[in-house]
């Protein structure tokens, strides 16, 4: 049987990994500045993470949500402690797309409405409503296009209010820092206006923190820089450090009822153990502070590279924009310099999403190699 060929692949076969490094089948070492799409938060193969999952596997790995699982409440308490979102309610699922699906569904249930407002260059997933709210027609099938979604530019309060006034919008979904879309962010004034307008016109404000959450940006959630209270917050990626887990945080004004949402694998024992281990390490090793400090160091170093025309993002969710497409540069960084980086829908942008454990010496190595690569690429 053949694999269904939907991924363009680099010719690298990782067989093991440790902290910020990945090793291929030939023993070559790669500095991981991409973390598998921002998934690796506490570093590859962290001992506490391995031990916690291993211990749980020897106890019970899985049972359905038809029984009591105290680990789910323990995880909810830990997320509340780290994020200070104490009053929110946690629903667990298995991925970021599933988190956004459940968020949009819940918003529709809560408001009794069905149209969604998303923003240009948004990426919210590849499933039904999530992909309809993703600004990429190439991955939206006719089935998905039945969803009613309106795309707006960031920072246009008038356009947003004009749409909300129509009375049929259930949700406004946004990324405080866009991931796949190219690291753009709405202005603080617009973020504050989104919250006010959603409350005025009975729409749910959904903060998509799938990529930016769990301390990657130097705050636990990226939106927390702006002191707003979204109705729903979606989480995944760095939440499990590679173990599939996602979830939504639901504002207390939205009341649950039996059957409203459901999942088979969400919140299983192994997934909870993985995420609890991540939160333990984030706290013990002060990785949120490290993300803030190393992000500032990345930016300081990037300012010395003349070819970098624009620096986007914050913490360890960064984008370096050039005046040329970076596809060949990324290949050179991988094959010649042993460094993984990311791309985005902005073909001129190099995306940086390393494990939150990264240190200055590794950042120095990256910029030394980047300068060499640039001098032999452009």
Contact partners, residue 298, CB within 8 Å, separation at least 6:
316, 318, 352, 363
Domain limits of the chain? 14-46+286-375, 47-284
Contacts of 35 (CB under 8 A, 6+ apart): 41, 238, 353, 354, 355
C-alpha–C-alpha distance, residues 297 and 301, integer Å: 6
Bridge partners of 248, per DSSP, are 91, 234
CA nearest neighbour of 38 among 356, 271, 284, 288 = 356
> Given this model, what pLDDT does residue 377 score?
52
User: Which helix (H) or strand (E) is 249 found in, with range?
Assistant: strand 246-250
Token output for 270:
């192994």
Residues 263, 106: Cα–Cα separation, whole Å: 14
> Tens digit of pLDDT for each residue in 215-236?
999 999 999 999 899 999 999 9
What are the CA-CA distances from residue 94 to residues 3, 103, 248 (Å)? 23, 13, 11
High-pLDDT (> 70) share of the chain, %: 99
Give the span between the Cα atoms of 230 and 226, in whole angstroms.
11
Dist CA 336 CA 332 (whole Å): 5
Which pLDDT score is estimated for 376? 85
Q: Are strands 14-18 and 21-24 parallel, antiparallel or unpaired?
A: antiparallel
Q: Across-strand partners of 116?
A: 149, 171
What does the angle CA 222 – CA 226 – CA 227 come to, to the nearest 5 degrees? Answer: 105
Q: Rounded to whole angstroms, how far apart are CA atoms 158 and 374?
A: 42
The answer to whether 85 and 79 have CB atoms below 8 angstroms apart is yes
The alpha carbon of residue 148 and the mean position of all alpha carbons in its chain are separated, in whole angstroms, by 24
Pairing of strands 317-321, 349-352: antiparallel
Which residues of the chain, if any, have pLDDT below 50? 378
Alpha-carbon span 94 to 92, nearest angstrom: 7
Distance CA 254, CA 171 (A): 13
HSE-CB for 335 with a 13 A CA cutoff: 9
What is the per-residue pLDDT across 272-316, written as a single tens digit (0 to 9) for each? 999 999 999 999 999 999 999 999 999 999 999 999 999 999 999
Give the pLDDT score at 64.
94
**CATH fold for the domain made of 47-284:** 3.40.640
- Tell me the CATH number of domain 14-46+286-375, given options 3.40.640.10, 2.40.70.10, 3.90.1150.10, 3.40.50.11540: 3.90.1150.10
Amino acid 295: pLDDT: 98
């Amino acid at each position: 049987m053949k694999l269904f060929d939907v991924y363009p692949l680099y010719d690298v076969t990782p067989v093991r990994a440790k902290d910020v490094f990945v090793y291929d089948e030939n023993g070559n070492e790669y500095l991981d500045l991409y973390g598998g799409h921002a998934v690796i938060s506490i570093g590859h193969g962290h001992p506490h993470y391995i031990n916690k999952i291993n211990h749980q596997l020897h106890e019970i790995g899985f049972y359905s949500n038809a029984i009591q699982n105290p680990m789910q409440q323990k995880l909810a308490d830990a997320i509340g402690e780290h994020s200070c979102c104490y009053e929110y309610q946690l629903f667990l699922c298995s991925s970021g797309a599933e988190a956004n699906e459940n968020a949009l569904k819940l918003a529709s249930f809560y408001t009794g409405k069905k149209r969604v407002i998303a923003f240009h260059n948004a990426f919210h997933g590849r499933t039904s409503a999530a992909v309809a709210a993703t600004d990429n027609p190439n991955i939206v099938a006719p089935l998905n296009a039945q969803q009613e979604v309106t795309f707006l530019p960031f920072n246009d309060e008038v356009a947003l209010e004009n749409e909300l006034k129509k009375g049929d919008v259930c949700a406004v979904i946004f990324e405080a820092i866009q991931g796949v879309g190219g690291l753009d962010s709405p202005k603080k004034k617009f973020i504050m206006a989104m919250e006010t307008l959603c409350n005025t016109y009975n729409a749910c404000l959904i903060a998509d923190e799938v990529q930016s959450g769990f301390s990657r940006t130097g705050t636990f959630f990226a939106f927390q820089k702006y002191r707003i209270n979204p109705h729903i917050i979606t989480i995944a990626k760095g939440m499990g450090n590679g173990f599939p887990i996602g979830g939504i945080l639901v504002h207390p004004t939205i009341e649950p009822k039996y059957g409203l949402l459901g999942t088979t694998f969400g919140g299983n024992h192994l997934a909870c153990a993985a995420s609890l281990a991540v939160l333990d390490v984030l706290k013990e090793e002060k990785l949120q502070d490290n993300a803030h400090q190393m992000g500032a160091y990345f930016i300081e170093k990037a300012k010395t590279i003349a070819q970098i025309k624009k620096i986007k993002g914050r913490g360890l969710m960064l984008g370096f924009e050039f005046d040329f497409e970076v596809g060949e540069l990324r290949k050179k960084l991988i094959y010649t310099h042993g460094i993984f980086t990311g791309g985005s829908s902005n073909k001129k942008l190099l995306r940086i999403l390393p494990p939150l454990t990264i240190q200055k010496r590794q950042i120095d190595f990256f910029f030394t190699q980047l300068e060499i690569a640039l001098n032999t690429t452009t």
